[in-house]
Amino acid sequence: MAPSPTSLLLSFDSTLQPFLLPSSSSFPPRPSPSSLARRLIRVASRSIPLASTSRSTTLLTASSTLNDFNFRHDFTHGFILIRPMLDNELDETVQLLAESFSEVMFGTDRYVQLLIFLVKQYIEERLKLVPHTAVLVGFYTETNSSESHLVCTAEVSFDAIGANAAVPTPQPPPDYPYICNMTTKKSHRRKGIAWQLLQACEDLILRMKVKRQVYLHCRVVDKGPFALYTKAGYEVVKRDSIMVWLTLQRRKYLMRKIIPLTNYVQANVRTEDLSTPNDTQVTQQVFKAGDLPPSNDRHPDVKYLPQQNDRHLEVKPEDRPQQLDSHMKSSHLENDDDDDGIF
């Protein structure tokens, strides 16, 4: 029997809280079923092969789509190639994430070695859920150079099976795609790589033929990532309560985007292949208007959902979205998108 999964909360949007659950080997062995129970199991299993075959075919198709995925973008200064992480790239990916977490959470690189152990354990657990989840890595090659370097990574979960058990608050619906742990190497920031990484995540979601309603988190204080997500079409649907400060976490926005059908043409996916044709509708998990900033303090570049008759939260002005500088509103935002490293 496989050991119990490790519940490890790893996200830039929340405090690192590892909780190592006891292995299943510490539990007493299950009693063997009686002869009658075994007979009933054999009878019931006669009707299972068809469903099992269908599920296996679906998983095989999803695995093939994931393994064949490649996203390339050419810059004037080089090009980026984004694809699923290979086994021999685990350590390099862990190093990149650990450095980014240490920089943002502690402001120093003194805790990189500790974070390497925790991040590696987390990613190994997540890889067991492939193809319900995926870890993407991006390799950048400069113009007139033959060397490529791993410079970015992101994690995407596609459904409830691949959903993270320790997802940050505000919690997104578990059965919808969710993007997290996006980071760009410090030496390769402000080159538009984060923008292409986000586009690659959305492109993969389309190719996997899952629901088009995508969720992600963004800290309230992160102007760069917030501007990036807003420009990409994400909307604020909920915000952390002030009480989240008691857990030593920064307040976060839960943001959502419905990938338009026009993107299916770019991803070479037929619209008739959509597995959930009605998923463009807002889920029943409706967020209260009180979770959003008051109307007179709302961000000018954000599309907020229609408000309902609900009380607003009392929020300090410094916790609300601030006005973006003029250069952040320009059409060249993709070159200034990833100055915060991980989000």
Q: Write out the catalytic residue numbers.
A: 229
- 157 backbone dihedrals φ, ψ, rounded to 5°: -110, 140
d(CA 45, CA 42): 5
- Sign (positive or negative) of CA dihedral 301, 305, 306, 312: negative
- Give residue 329's identity as a one-letter amino acid code: K
Residues 54, 289: contact at Cβ < 8 Å? no
Closest to 185 measured CA to CA, from 219, 153, 145: 153
- Give residue 221's identity as a one-letter amino acid code: V
* Residue 72 burial (CB count, 10 A): 13
Q: Helix H segments across the chain? A: 35-45, 49-67, 90-106, 112-127, 193-207, 223-231, 262-266
Residues counted in the chain: 343
d(CA 116, CA 114): 5
d(CA 299, CA 319): 12
Take residue 100 and report the two structure tokens written for it.
Answer: 């980014």
| 298 strand-pairing partners | none
The beta strands (E) that lie in the chain are given as: 7-9, 17-19, 71-74, 78-84, 133-142, 148-157, 178-184, 213-219, 235-239, 252-258
- Give residue 140's identity as a one-letter amino acid code: Y
Q: Please report, for residues 252, 264, 318, the alpha-carbon distance to residue 247 in angstroms, rounded to integers and kept in the order given.
A: 13, 41, 19
